[in-house]
């Protein structure tokens, strides 16, 4: 390490000269990598999965290593193609068709990936639902997009508020134990799969056909249904090549949950476009299990998040010494700031850098990144991906000079960009209020060498352990509790998780604060909304700061959470 700079790794890499490529690159040049460039037949499921079997001779290559306690399985590309064709045929049998929204509410399991690909194959739209979501979160999301079907598990299905979801016609239940309690109104996933033919089920679509409605939390109001289209594959592929530097012999592990954008785009779609095996680990995070998994499968490229790295670091040197992680070529990080200590740990203990990547649900692909061929400045999220113009703009949309903090903005028009917000043209337009810029909601600055430095969210969205939490949703839930008159929620800095959810509470008359109540409120949010959104800290206050319009004042609340009250 040289001061705050980590030198570029010697090549060759897929991307060898960042500056030169950045100057000349055009996303259109990537299109020839896809079969549709010749055939005109488009479907992201074809490029990510079937093509490995039909054109690349990889039918017998392992596509998926699955490990979850006693359940340890492997699937080849050939098997996954057939299984996802089967599920596509099941969907067709039940009348699910192109453009229909299908919720994916399953724990990480092979059935999730099989179902996901099956949905894409028929041109339907996947609505990923994080497995921690509870009734209210599910109602808002599945209700908003009027999903007609959902794929779920026996444990999770009881959280679905069916009475509030009139459009929902089919509940496919994956029952791993078999013989489980599948009621007459539900469809047994395994039974249908057994009966279904594995004949080709692909429905060809257009580049602009939607494939995903990814709900992302904003600062105010309910989560927004971010629409992504099949054309997003152009961005997935080329970032896989240049940011992740994927090579034919790689074993790839992205630890993000497939309920979030990273666990989808880089969890399987991108590595499979390169015909690479992915690792999927079910169950809860445990530092030791993760190290064991890295060793067991000989993971070469690992995409994870700073909170996970910090948890492994806290396991101490003894933990790392037990496992042989020498196959790792490099690590990538996303979701929250990659703090310099984490990078220093990786350099010292693993001998390799961690490449930070900045992006969001709305961007659909890695946007500002570090690359093997570029020196890394500690604390920087790196430089814009070729083809991407990034800038810092003020609150009127004017570009700011280097070293000034402002809104991180991106010039609209990249291939994986969101194409809309489900049911709300208005919310979509809010991102583009300063043409030609897409306003990310993050603040950052750029130094004189063109490196970007992330500073935080500008809008009050909370980022806890890399997971995005909308304060409004949490406040709304808290206000439903009889003890709560009003609530304000903000992210409070935390050494392990980046931020924690902190709630300021105004009590109703007749209620007194006590530790039991804090536990009760925490559980109330956990049971109603989601565990990761439940406040870890409470504070009783006489009133919540408000804007002129009477909404919670996000800036003031953030100030409180930073200790400026
Ligand atoms: C991909 C993903 C997006 C928000 C984003 C920002 C934060 C993402 C980051 C990062 C610091 C990075 N974020 N990458 N913060 N360094 N490398 O995480 O999508 O769930 O939509 O969250 O995450 O605040 O605005 P999403």
Domain ranges of the chain: 462-561
* pLDDT computed for residue 1 by the predictor: 43
Task: Calculate how far, in angstroms, residue 209's C-alpha sits from the geometric centre of ligand 1.
Answer: 26
Nearest CA to 561 out of 481, 504, 476, 512 is that of 504
Q: Is 441 in the pocket of ligand 1 (CB under 6 A)?
A: yes
* Pairing outcome for strands 149-152 and 101-105: parallel
Q: Is 189 in the pocket of ligand 1 (CB under 6 A)?
A: no
* pLDDT computed for residue 506 by the predictor: 98
Cis peptide upstream of residue 12 (ω within 30 degrees of 0): yes
454: its two tokens: 């992330």
The single residue listed with the structure tokens 């009475």 is 163
* pLDDT computed for residue 176 by the predictor: 58
Nearest CA to ligand 1 atom 15: 336
Task: Calculate how far, in angstroms, residue 360's C-alpha sits from the geometric centre of ligand 1.
Answer: 5
Nearest CA to ligand 1 atom 3: 360
Runs of H (alpha helix) within 206-305: 233-242, 261-264, 270-273, 287-296
Strand arrangement of the beta sheet that strand 71-76 belongs to: 71-76, 62-68, 278-281, 252-254, 301-304, 330-333, 354-358, 368-369, 383-384
534: its two tokens: 């439940």
195: its two tokens: 């009966």
Per residue in 505-514, pLDDT (tens digit) is 999 999 999 9
Please tell me the class of the 462-561 domain: alpha beta
3-state secondary structure of 267: helix
Task: Calculate how far, in angstroms, residue 358's C-alpha sits from the geometric centre of ligand 1.
Answer: 6
304-330 CB burial, b ≥16 within 10 A, e <16:
bbbbbbbbbbeeeeebbeeeebeebeb
Task: Calculate how far, in angstroms, residue 292's C-alpha sits from the geometric centre of ligand 1.
Answer: 27
Task: Calculate how far, in angstroms, residue 456's C-alpha sits from the geometric centre of ligand 1.
Answer: 9
Nearest CA to ligand 1 atom 7: 335
Predicted model pTM: 0.96
* pLDDT computed for residue 3 by the predictor: 56
Task: Calculate how far, in angstroms, residue 336's C-alpha sits from the geometric centre of ligand 1.
Answer: 6
Nearest CA to ligand 1 atom 19: 360
Quick one: which atom of ligand 1 is closest to the CA of 262? Answer: 1
CA 160, chain centre distance (Å): 22
* Pairing outcome for strands 252-254 and 301-304: parallel
Which stretches of the chain score pLDDT less than 50?
Answer: 1-2
Q: Is the dihedral of CA 350, 353, 358, 363 positive or negative?
A: negative
The single residue listed with the structure tokens 């700011």 is 400
3-state secondary structure of 35: coil
Q: Is 156 in the pocket of ligand 1 (CB under 6 A)?
A: no
* pLDDT computed for residue 177 by the predictor: 59
- Other Cβ atoms within 10 Å of 181 Cβ, number: 10
- Does the predicted interface ipTM exceed a cut of 0.95? yes
CA distance 522 to 524: 5
Nearest CA to 2 out of 508, 347, 281, 240 is that of 347
């Amino acid at each position: 390490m040289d001061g705050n700079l980590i030198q570029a790794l010697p090549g060759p890499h897929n991307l060898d000269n960042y500056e030169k490529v950045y100057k000349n690159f055009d996303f259109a040049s990537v299109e020839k990598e896809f079969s549709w460039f010749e055939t005109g037949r488009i479907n992201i499921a074809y490029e990510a999965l079937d093509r490995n079997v039909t054109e690349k001779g990889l039918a017998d290559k392992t596509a998926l290593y699955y490990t979850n306690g006693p359940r340890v399985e492997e699937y080849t590309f050939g098997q996954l193609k057939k299984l996802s064709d089967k599920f596509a045929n099941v969907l067709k049998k039940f009348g699910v068709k192109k453009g229909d929204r299908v919720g994916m509410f399953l724990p990480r399991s092979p059935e999730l990936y099989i179902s996901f690909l099956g949905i894409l194959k028929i041109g339907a739209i996947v609505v990923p639902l994080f497995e921690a979501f509870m009734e209210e979160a599910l109602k808002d999301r599945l209700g908003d997009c009027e999903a007609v079907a959902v794929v779920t598990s026996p444990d999770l299905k009881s959280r679905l508020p069916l009475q509030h979801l009139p459009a929902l016609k089919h509940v496919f239940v994956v029952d791993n134990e078999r013989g489980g309690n599948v009621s007459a109104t539900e469809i047994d996933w395994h039974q249908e799969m057994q009966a279904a033919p594995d004949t080709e089920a692909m429905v060809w679509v257009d580049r602009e056909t939607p494939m995903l409605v990814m709900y992302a939390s904003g600062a105010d109001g309910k989560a927004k249904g971010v629409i992504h289209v099949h054309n997003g594959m152009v961005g997935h592929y080329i970032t896989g090549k240049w940011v992740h530097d994927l090579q034919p012999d790689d074993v790839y592990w992205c630890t993000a949950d497939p309920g979030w954008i990273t666990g989808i785009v880089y969890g399987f779609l991108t590595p499979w476009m390169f015909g690479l095996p992915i690792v999927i680990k079910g169950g809860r995070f445990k530092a030791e299990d993760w190290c064991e998994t890295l060793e067991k499968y000989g993971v070469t490229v690992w995409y994870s998040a700073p909170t996970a790295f910090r948890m492994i670091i806290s396991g101490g040197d003894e933990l790392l010494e037990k496992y042989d992680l020498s196959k790792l070529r490099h690590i990538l990080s996303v979701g929250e700031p990659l703090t310099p200590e984490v990078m220093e740990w990786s350099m010292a203990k693993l001998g390799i850098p961690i490449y930070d990547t900045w992006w969001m649900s709305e961007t659909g692909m890695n946007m500002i990144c570090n690359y093997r061929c570029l020196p890394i400045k500690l604390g920087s999220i790196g430089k814009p991906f070729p083809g991407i113009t990034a800038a810092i703009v003020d609150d009127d949309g004017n570009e700011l000079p280097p070293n000034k903090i402002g809104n991180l903005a991106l010039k609209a028009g990249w291939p994986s960009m969101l194409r809309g917000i489900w049911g709300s043209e208005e919310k979509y337009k809010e991102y583009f209020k300063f043409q030609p810029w897409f306003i990310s909601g993050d603040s950052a600055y750029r130094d004189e060498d063109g490196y970007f430095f992330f500073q935080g969210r500008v809008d009050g969205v909370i980022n806890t352990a890399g997971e995005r939490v909308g304060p409004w949703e949490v406040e709304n839930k808290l206000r439903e509790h009889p003890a709560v008159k009003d609530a304000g929620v903000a992210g409070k800095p935390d050494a392990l998780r980046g931020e924690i959810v902190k709630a300021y509470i105004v009590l109703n008359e007749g209620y007194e604060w006590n530790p039991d109540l804090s536990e009760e409120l925490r559980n109330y949010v956990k049971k109603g909304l989601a565990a990761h959104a439940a406040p870890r800290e409470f504070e009783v206050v006489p009133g919540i700061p408000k804007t002129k319009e009477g909404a919670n004042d996000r800036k003031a609340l953030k100030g409180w959470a930073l200790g400026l009250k």
